[in-house]
Chain A
């Protein structure tokens, strides 16, 4: 079983729609959860971090965490073509600046 698993893509949504990205993790003691955006050939760029159960909103982005289900998601509202990228879910076991374990990523295409 993969440590961090993301829904297989690619995912395609029309401009203005909601894009939903999902991630599950295997280690129940995971503490910190991150969503990164990665454009082709570029480095990961942090979009959201979430540490406790529930929703966290930042502009058009909402991260949702459910530790009981070992599930974290990212919703992108009013999707724009510029949101087209690969989205990486990352999980840290340790809150004290430990390493991140990444999923394979989900490629999102937003069609104008």
Chain B
């Protein structure tokens, strides 16, 4: 069964450093999302991406964040200058567009020290 994959599974970085989180959505899917979940808190929407552009973003998704689909398969989330409060689990999700079912990747656990 096709699945969303994410790399790395864990990332530790120093405050102020840039990180890139990578996702490979399911191949025929058209809509892509990033969510985050701070430990013990709810899943929060960050950004949605369709047709090679951002379709919606939350207040969390400020100028420090960017997304890209560089090669038609990968979908990346970049955090330019990480803060301690960016420590969270980051989930990528995709939707085919035929169905609304969101398929979540396994997540990347980011720890900012």
Contacts and interface: CB of A to CB of B under 8 A. Distances in A.
Interface string A82-112: 0000001010100101111111110000000
B104 A102 contact: no
B81 to A, nearest CB: 25
Interface in A63-84: none
Interface residues of B, number: 25
Given A42-B106, A43-B91, A43-B107, A95 B42 contact: no
Interface in B88-113: 89, 91, 95, 97, 100-107
Interface stretch (B11-19, B43-51, B65-73): B43-51
A46 interface: yes
B102 A43 contact: no
Interface in B4-25: none
A46 B42 contact: no
20 contacts: A42-B106, A43-B106, A44-B43, A46-B101, A46-B103, A88-B42, A90-B43, A92-B100, A97-B30, A97-B31, A97-B48, A97-B50, A97-B95, A97-B97, A98-B48, A100-B35, A101-B45, A102-B44, A104-B41, A104-B42
A-B CB proximity, top 6 nearest: A43-B104, A102-B43, A97-B31, A99-B45, A97-B95, A104-B42
